[in-house]
Amino acid sequence: MNVTIKREQANSAIQIARYGVIILSLVCMSSRLAQADDATDDICKTAGQGIRLHIDGTYGGYPFSVLREAVLGGVACPSGALQVQAFETIAAPPPHMRINVKRPLGQGRQGTISAMLYAQGRFVIGERMSLSSFSRTQSPSSVKADINLVTTNLWNDLAARVTHNKPIIPQ
């Protein structure tokens, strides 16, 4: 009899642990999804309905909010006639851009920036470059020029597809 009670208690403890892990997982996932929604910004509203921007990355131990402000301050929007023409072909529904900045801790350490554009559920184009030597040694605000360069290159490469009669969204 005593053994049966201990088995029932053990089974109950196992079930409580299982359900506890499931509930904890759901709570953690829902809070991460809410953070992801908060991390998107609408940019380039003068071009179509604009672009949904997602910012990821780290910048040498600085708070993410500082990096986010630097990225928002440096993003280039489509501006030339060919850039706008290329953008208009993918503007509905609004495309998504993901910018990722990685700068390890420590002065002078190499870092990277990547910008990827997605439209209509598909990858359109991406650019990647190393951080400039200035950005590798300064605060996150110094990365604005690098962000501007990588996004300008992205729009120029997208416009080149119009010039060469290539599809804007690769097949």
CB 167 within 8 A of CB 161: yes
Average pLDDT over residues 40-47: 84
Give the three-state DSSP class for 122: strand
pLDDT (tens digit per residue) in 80-108: 999 999 999 999 899 999 999 999 887 66
Q: Which of 30-34, 155-159, 164-168 has the highest mean pLDDT?
A: 155-159
Q: State pTM to two decimals.
A: 0.74
pLDDT tens digits along 44-89 = 987 778 999 999 999 988 999 999 999 999 999 999 999 999 999 9
Question: Could you tell me which residues are beta bridge partners of residue 59?
Answer: 103
Convert 57-87 to b/e letters by CB count within 10 Å (16 or more is b). bbbbeeeeeebbebbeebbbbbeeebbbebb
**Strand 96-103 versus strand 51-59 pairing type:** parallel
Q: What percent of the chain has pLDDT over 70?
A: 77
3 pLDDT band (50/70/90 cuts)?
low
Q: How many angstroms separate the CA atoms of 11 and 73, rounded?
A: 57
